[in-house]
Structure 1
Amino acid sequence: MLYSCEQKRYTYKTFKHEVDSIAASLLELGFEKNDRFAVWLPNTSENVTMTYAASKLGLIKVNINPAYVERELEYCINKVGCKGILLSPSVKSIDSLSIFRRLVPELDQQSSLPGELSAKAVPTLKHVILTGEQISVPGTHSYVDLLKRGAQTSHTKLTERQASVDPDSAVAIFYTSGTTGQPKAATLTNFGMLNLVRAQWELLSPFYSCVCVPIPMFHIFAATSGVLNVAVANCKVIFPAVLPDTVATMRAIHEEKCTALIGAPIIFSDILMHPDRKKYDLSSLVYGGSGATSLQIDFLRQVEKEFPITRMVQGYGMTENASLLTSGMWAGDDDSQRRLGSLGRCMQGLEIKVVDQQGQIVPIGQQGEIWARGYPIMCGYYGDPEKTAETLTPSGWLRTGDEAKMDEDGYLYFVGRQKEIIIRGGVNIYPIEVENTIIEHPSVAQAQVFSIPDQRYGEEVCAWIILKPNVPKCQTQDIQNFLKDKLAFFKIPKHIRFVDKFITTPT
């Protein structure tokens, strides 16, 4: 593994030594199986090390977005009752330690020893561990000191603990962001996550000799397709920056001759549109995997041509199933329509069906909700039996809330999300269809379509649009005129706003 921003390189031997050292120290601190341990870090070596240390000890690693502020951090810790937390004093311009001190003023008020924290806002939290060489805060542990201490102690007890961990036990919690309500704590198992990664590796091994992972580790996509790769695959994993950085990503691909790049669509579009792209040699890339949202087939072909990348594919999945349900890799090079235009076919170890509102399978080519079942599916939402029951059926099917069609060979074609349907005057409109059409305009880079209340129709169509750089300005009427012969009149946005960026949920 390589952490470009830290200038750290790990072999399997050195990585195992660090994992065992920190795990041995955590064991000495009194962490028990199933204790929840929060990691509030960006893409750092300590984040990956804690993933494996927690698994060895039977802890449940709680992944928290490093951009969260006090209220969000407090919720994430208390929702699952974290006993420990690992954080960095700062993340770029974010003063994480100050945020934490505002949440836990007891750090500055108490003379307690590390491990004896008693905080009103987060009562279950006892251990605070800080990364960094020069940091010393009363009542906290130093990650560096714990590493040194663990390296000098016997690992006999660690070996015994690891042998007692049930592979079906919970190993990680990822918070899923909805558009309404508080995040839910999706809980995944050792067995489910590792075997999904193994299935990915069997499908992608010809392309994964060196994979670049610029996406954040608190996101399930990076956790499975990046962090856990080293457990099942003989490949080099590159983390180019602590936070998303287009130049750092291009530099890492150029210098390390990466063969694979994974990320959300914005990773690929930012590289494609970057003015310095041609300063870097990206031709070593033979695979590009994108998820998190559906992409336009023309955009994928453009990426293949201009990066260049030998093979771009889309995948489909969600946090609740450890990231990947389907992959376009099943389609051959000569079947670009399926490889680029569909969400792909079901991964090994999973089964998928498309159902109607009664849960009955719909005919081939008919629209319905995607349901999935298999070992990667979550245990449930931690502490939320009602929400778990709403999402998982008694027979283990995950209701995704996403609408799709399936062809005769099992390939899925995304239609939209049930909660994103706009109902205008009783007529259903799928935002993704409108978005895809708007993006065909030569001046448009990205579009988001959603509903706003309307006194007459109940809901009206609204669009936020990001224009490409250095193009003539567009007006609302320009976009509406462009859409007139491409969409039915009721699908054309009545309200259009041009923006510099979108407001999105963390995951």
Structure 2
Amino acid sequence: MSYLKSDCDLPLVEATPGQLLDDSAAKWPDQEAYVFRHLGVRMKLAEVKQEADRLAAGLLSIGVRRGDVVAWVLTNRPEWVISFFAAAKIGAISLPIIGFYFLTFYKGMVGDILKKAKVKVLLIENSPTDEGLPETIPYLKEVFPDIVSATTAKSLRIEAVPSLTSIVVIGDKTSDNAFYNLGNIQSMGTHETARQRVQEAQSQTNCHDTIILLFTSGSTGAPKLVEQTTYAMVNTAEMVNRISGQDKRKVLLAPTDMTENLDSVLIPVLTGSQTVVFASANTWELADIISAILEERCEGTTFMYVKTLHDLVNDPTVKECDMSFLKDVQVGGNVISKTLQRQFAQVFPDADIINYYGTTEGWIVSMSRRSEMTKEQMERTVGRLMPHMETKVVNKAGQVVPLNQEGEIWVRGFSVFKGYRGDEEKTAKVKTHDGWHKTGDIGVLDEDGLLAITGRIKDMIIKNAENVHPACVEQVLLAHPKVQDVKVVGVPDPRYVEEICACIILKNGQMSDVEEMRKFSEENGLLADEINPGYFVFMDSFPKTSTGRKIDKRRIRAVAMERLGLKENTD
């Protein structure tokens, strides 16, 4: 039957980030932990601890206590790392927010998000207008008109977010009385009494406390807030680093935003021997990534999106460089096509792809590594279950199905979330009373213990009574040499009820038409009318969900219907 519990000799870690930082800084004070190339900053473990202790004491001085939520809107900069460890040391809960989303996608719902999370302190980078984004301070005053009436930072009261008592500006100083500057807060943590208060607060922290709130995409309205524990976060980073073999790499490139790549924050303090390099602030120009790999001699990468991998292996300059020292890249967020895997093998013959399957609610569920699997297994599956985890594949009634039979993937273990903060009803829909997380993914477990993802329950298209998984159609079209990305959605049809619509982004400089795509799909296995797209729509880009991280298939469907002149079935 499709049930598996993974074995592992590696023990789970029962330590908090504050304890890990203190221990590592004591043992390896001069170890370079983080490199921020765009700022010219290189931080040693001892420096991280010193700054984190100062900020932790400052946060205590403005009223932050264990269980309070500290949110921040920061790009990849030292203050992100310092804020995380400072909050962890005093038992506060972190809520990192990517600035681009805060200033764009979340506009109109910022107050609701902060209120729902019960944010006590907001730290925000004071940046001028850049690439069409609003300037920070005027934006905050527009969102929270109450700021204008605050005569001092201590007197700040925002009616829309009653829990919010302080806003701390990072970067260029502001003379506005409503805000603290980061320097003000840090100066509160320099005396011995303040340091003792931090040690006392840290002694009260527990590895099973909530340590972080993470946004998960919502198609409409405010995103949900996933509560994760210290135990889940630390052990996920530890297991990923150890099981993947990346603990042997001395220098790792972090090619995404820190908020989306939390392992990169913990790795240096977990091992005391690894350096994580950030190529840029938050705009991932391929040139920055390539120069960082070459100049810092990065032996591996932390989490990388499929799109970044695609751009990397197709960049002509990469083929001219000696990157033989690069031994592996971590990739996730979407299915890696067979074509992309083969391209990677040609460009980086001595390197591994480490592919992850996971969810925000369950973190990393399974892992595949090219050197440990056959070509067929690597292309067909998402690998083996992570240590100390359970999975089962079930039917609609929640009953376990036989091996090699499709069903919904459920997972249980140390990394499964506590719940959606402030949303007990939504939590109950995806998490059972005995701890199983219903992922919503359709998959298959085989006799070798390998997991394959075949689709999403919500994405299922039923064409003429035939169940069609969009991923199956997408994989075929992704193999077309002119295609950069494909998303398949179901659109209304009077004959079939639902028709398959392939929405396609072509590679730069390429041109195609419906006839070419239809012929290609038929020649590559989509012969049956029930699985061949009835429509092909070409797009320049795909709309995103409210977090800005994931593709919004609802909106893609709406755009496709508008282009095709279709309306919802009313019968």
TM-score, normalised relative to structure 2: 0.84
Q: Deviations over 1:406-434 (max 9, x none)?
A: 11121111101111111223221111111
From 358, 365, 383, the counterpart of 1:344: 383
- What is the alpha-carbon distance in structure 2 between the residues aligned to residue 334 and residue 275 of structure 1? 29
In the TM superposition, what is the alpha-carbon distance from 1:63 to its structure 2 partner? 2.2
Q: Select between 272-281 and 334-343 the one with higher mean Cα deviation.
A: 272-281
Give, in angstroms, the shift of residue 469 of structure 1: 2.4
CA-CA distance at 1:116 after TM superposition: 2.6
- Please point out which of 345, 355, 360 is paired with 1:314: 355
Give the alignment's Cα RMSD to 1 decimal: 1.9
Question: Is 1:463 aligned to 2:502, yes or no?
Answer: yes
C-alpha change, 1:115 and 1:239, in structure 2 (3 Å) is farther
Q: 2:410: which partner in 1?
A: 371
Paired residues of 1:107 and 1:139 also in contact (CA < 8 A): yes
Taking a change above 3 Å as real, the CA distance of residues 281 and 120 of structure 1, as seen in their structure-2 partners, is farther
Corresponding position of 2:175:
136
Name the stretch that deviates more: 407-416 or 138-147.
Answer: 138-147
Structure 1, residues 188-232: CA drift from partner, whole Å, max 9, x if none? 00111111211112212355321111212222xx01x21121231
Matched, 1:291 2:351: no
Indicate the residue corresponding to 1:76 in structure 2: 113
Deviations along 1:156-192, one digit per CA (max 9) or x if unpaired, are 1100100101211100000100334531110000111
Q: How does 1:324-335 map to 2 (within 5 A)?
A: 324-329=364-369, 332-333=371-372, 335=374
C-alpha contact (below 8 Å) 2:355/2:382 kept by paired residues: yes
Matching residue of 1:6: 39
Q: Which residue of 2 aligns with 1:85?
A: 122
Q: Deviations over 1:60-96 (max 9, x none)?
A: 1112231223323223211111111111122743223
Q: Distance in 1 between matches of 2:202 and 2:238?
A: 21
Which residue matches 2:559?
Answer: none
Amino acid at match of 1:212: L
Deviates more, 1:197-206 or 1:341-350: 197-206
- Counterpart of 1:186, as a letter, is V
- Structure 2 match to 1:430: 469
2:429 is aligned, of 376, 390, 399, to 390
Q: Is the 8 A contact 1:133 1:144 kept in 2?
A: no
Structure 1 counterpart of 2:255, one-letter code? P
Alignment gaps of 5+ in structure 1? none
Matched, 1:36 2:69: yes
Whether the 8 Å CA contact 1:207–1:287 is kept in 2: the answer is: no
Give runs of aligned pairs for residues 199-214 of structure 1, distance below 5 A.
199-203=239-243, 204-214=245-255
Partners in 2 of 1:206 and 1:124 — Cα distance? 41
Q: Residue 302 of structure 1 aligns with which residue?
A: 343
More moved, 124-133 vs 271-280 = 271-280
Cα 1:308–1:2 shift into 2, 3 Å = farther
The aligned counterpart of 2:60 is 27
State the secondary structure of the residue aligned to 1:338.
helix
What is the alpha-carbon distance in structure 2 between the residues aligned to residue 101 and residue 352 of structure 1?
Answer: 48
Counterparts of 1:151 and 1:499, CA distance in 2: 55
What are the residue-to-residue correspondences of 1:264-275 with 2, within 5 Å?
Answer: 264-275=305-316
The CA deviation at 1:275 is: 4.9
State the percentage of identical aligned residues.
28
- In structure 1, C-alpha distance between the alignment counterparts of 2:207 and 2:481, rounded to whole Å: 51
Aligned to 2:561: none
Runs of 5+ in structure 2 lacking a partner?
Answer: 1-33, 550-571
1:483 aligns with 2:521: yes
Equivalent residues of 2:337, 2:479 under 8 A apart = no
Residues 180, 73 of structure 1: CA spacing in aligned structure 2 closer, same or farther, 3 A cutoff? closer
The amino acid that maps onto 1:479 is M
Q: Deviations over 1:256-301 (max 9, x none)?
A: 1111123110111122333544565433211111111111123112
Tell me by how many angstroms 1:367 deviates.
0.8
Q: Is the 8 A contact 1:286 1:309 kept in 2?
A: yes
Report if aligned partners of 1:259, 1:287 keep a CA contact under 8 Å in 2: yes
Residue identity opposite 2:256 in structure 1: I
* AA aligned opposite 2:269: A
CA distance in 2, matches of 1:71, 1:21: 34
8 Å contact from structure 1 (residues 86, 129) kept in 2: yes
- How many Å separate the matches in 1 of 2:144 and 2:69? 18
Q: Distance in 2 between matches of 1:366 and 1:265?
A: 28
- Structure with more contact order per residue of length (Cα contacts < 8 Å, sep ≥ 6): 2
Q: Kindly indicate whether residue 85 of structure 2 is the aligned counterpart of residue 46 of structure 1.
A: no
CA distance in 2, matches of 1:459, 1:258: 48
Counterpart residue number, 1:194 = 234
What's the secondary structure of 2:508's corresponding residue?
A: coil
How many residues matched? Answer: 500
CA, structure 1 residues 72+90, in 2 after alignment: closer, same or farther (shift >3 Å)? farther
Map 1:96-245 onto structure 2 (within 5 A): 96-111=136-151, 113-154=152-193, 155-203=195-243, 204-219=245-260, 222-223=261-262, 225-233=263-271, 234-243=273-282, 244-245=284-285
Contact persistence 2:75–2:99 (CA under 8 A)? yes
Paired letter, 2:360: T
